[in-house]
Chains A and B, each alone.
Chain A
């Protein structure tokens, strides 16, 4: 054997900084979008029907008893809750797409195996998937936004200005979920992620009530969760209030997106590059 053939540790070779090819990532996004276009009626019912039920049932039903209470930022409970729900349904829809659906593509359907035989790299697939899952979340959030605006929950159509923020929220959640998907042995794994991470955020991060009503130590914990920052951005924008610390919230969501992307890329490389 020649002197260059000293076996190296193979793990660090999969830790390199991602190299992205935007056209390749877009091709992956486009593939998923084309599948969605075909199935969108049923997915609309799934991702949109449930939040709508919450909006009507809790926003109207519960709102009548709550309206006028302190700490609601001076808005109706319907507005308060609907704005939180726009953020949380973006999170939910993104997370479902990046776990159950992405796993279907990655494992049983072998879609990624087909794609990596082309010049598309694993990192491009991860970027394209993240963008797609974020798009999906953004569509779920945006459709709720439109309905809530139409029923008068929000100030007016300026509410639609928060759609780019919804995309950012989607990116923040899709990287995390894809990292989970990369390590999943089966579909069962995702119910842990949903039950232990996503649902607690839905309940704790200010969708239903102001965070200030929680004990101080819980508030500290809530501040590190991404949905808190998503709600903190969406609520003022859609209700026409002044944003507090927008740069901080945006920076935190961007950080979640980048760290999620890098971790997901490393983990998915491990599945496909031996």
Chain B
């Protein structure tokens, strides 16, 4: 055993989260539906799903705050909810809504929070907390009130707070929702830094970019079920055709009136459909295909068509699996 792996590993250490047949109903609504999950140690694991998919509910189950109606759950090798208290000592949480303590300053928030853990992660405490503030670039705001912080600063402070117990698993629920692109990129950089240092991260998101940039593995969740689970690359390779050609009639969407419908390009859909899976969304045809050349060679005969040829991405996988209807 070397110094670097001196951290105690309890139970079956292979998975940090292991769920079998998890079920949760709120009233008559099934929010977690017979869900199985194995999350490996190390790296970043993403739960990608639309609003109401059950992501937050699942995370709250890991903490023992939502009691499953059926199934078994182990976090860091310990059974939850039975050992939830001991599990919470070993994980850090960044909740979807900030719940910083408004009665205290930035530094006091960390100090008070550290006091809720049975043993402090590091001694002496003050330099450790200062290093956390420095990590999220808030060391100059240490004595400021929470009310004076911007949304991005608060979010960074919540991340620092989630690290006070030097957690074995860091859980983030939509860490960048509602933030500026600048802040989002800063937070991604910080999370990558943690991953590089060997942290294990579980995050939920509905941003494809976030999932694609950060996550080593992804589970696509909808209606309390995992629809697919793999690396982002494999998901794209296995779940959709590699190329997408988006077609639209020039000037469509700028019509003077609703009656002024542009003519369907005669014969084109039929010609393409032998080589591509076509989805029509408003004025645009999305042609998912293994043979982009065979689609493209038809296009010169239709000068009224403009097109965009791009590789398939996670969003295509996501929409293919979860459908296109609106969720609220």
The answer to whether A111 touches B116 (Cβ under 8 A) is: no
Residues in B neighbouring A13, C-beta threshold 8 A: 67
B67 touches A116 (CB 8 A): no
Given contacts A274-B66, A274-B67, contact A118 B97 (CB under 8 A): no
At the interface with chain A, which of B40-48, B83-91, B239-247, B267-275?
B83-91
Judging by beta carbons under 8 Å apart, are A110 and B99 in contact?
A: yes
Q: What are 16 pairs between A and B in contact, CB < 8 Å?
A: A1-B21, A1-B23, A4-B70, A4-B71, A4-B72, A5-B21, A7-B25, A7-B69, A27-B115, A27-B116, A31-B112, A109-B103, A113-B99, A114-B100, A114-B113, A115-B116
Q: How many residues of chain A are within 8 Å of chain B by beta carbon?
A: 33
Q: Does A119 contact B (CB under 8 A)?
A: yes
Is A53's beta carbon under 8 Å from chain B? no
A119 touching B116, Cβ below 8 Å:
yes
Task: Give the chain B neighbours of A35 by CB distance below 8 A.
Answer: 103-104
Instruction: Report A2-13 CB contacts with B as 1/0, cut-off 8 Å.
Output: 101111101001
Cross-chain contact B103 with A273 (CB below 8 angstroms): no
Residues of A at under 8 Å CB distance from B? 1-2, 4-8, 10, 13, 21, 23-24, 27, 30-31, 34-35, 38, 109-111, 113-121, 272-274
Query: If the complex has contacts A1-B34, A5-B21, A10-B69, are A118 and B88 also in contact, measured as CB distance less than 8 A?
Result: yes
- Tell whether, in the assembled complex, residue A117 and residue B95 are in contact, meaning their CB atoms are under 8 Å apart: yes
Q: In the complex, which residues of chain B have a beta carbon less than 8 angstroms from the beta carbon of A10?
A: 67, 69
Closest-by-CB residue of B relative to A122 is B65
Residue of B at shortest CB range from A26?
A: B115
| With contact pairs A35-B103, A113-B99 given, residues A7 and B23 touching in the complex (Cβ less than 8 Å) | yes
Closest 3 CB pairs of A and B: A5-B70, A118-B116, A110-B99
| Residues in B neighbouring A274, C-beta threshold 8 A | 26, 60, 65-67
- CB neighbours (8 Å) of A116 from chain B are 63, 65
Q: Which residues of B contact A (CB under 8 A)?
A: 20-21, 23, 25-26, 34, 60, 63-67, 69-72, 85-86, 88-89, 93, 95, 97, 99-104, 108, 112-113, 115-118, 165
> Residue on B with the closest CB to A14?
B67
Which of B71, B115, B117 lies at the interface centre, i.e. has the most chain A CB atoms within 10 A of its CB? B115
A119 and B69 contacting across the interface, CB-CB below 8 Å: no
Given contacts A118-B89, A119-B116, A274-B66, 14 further A-B contacts (CB under 8 A): A1-B34, A5-B34, A8-B69, A34-B108, A34-B112, A109-B102, A110-B99, A114-B99, A114-B100, A114-B113, A116-B65, A118-B116, A118-B117, A273-B64
Shortest Cβ distance from B234 into chain A, in angstroms? 28
Which residues of A lie under 8 Å from residue B69 when comparing CB positions? 7-8, 10
Q: How far is the CA of A239 from the CA of B248 in the complex (A)?
A: 93
Give complex CA distance A109, B100 in Å.
8
Taking a contact as CB atoms under 8 Å apart, the answer to whether A117 and B89 are in contact is no
A119 touches B21 (CB 8 A): no
Residue of B nearest to A118 (CB): B116
Q: Which residues of A contact B60 (CB under 8 A)?
A: 274
State A117–B102 Cα separation when bound (angstroms): 17
A119 touches B63 (CB 8 A): no
CB pair B70 A38 closer than 8 Å:
no
Closest chain-B Cβ to A151's Cβ sits at a distance in Å of 35
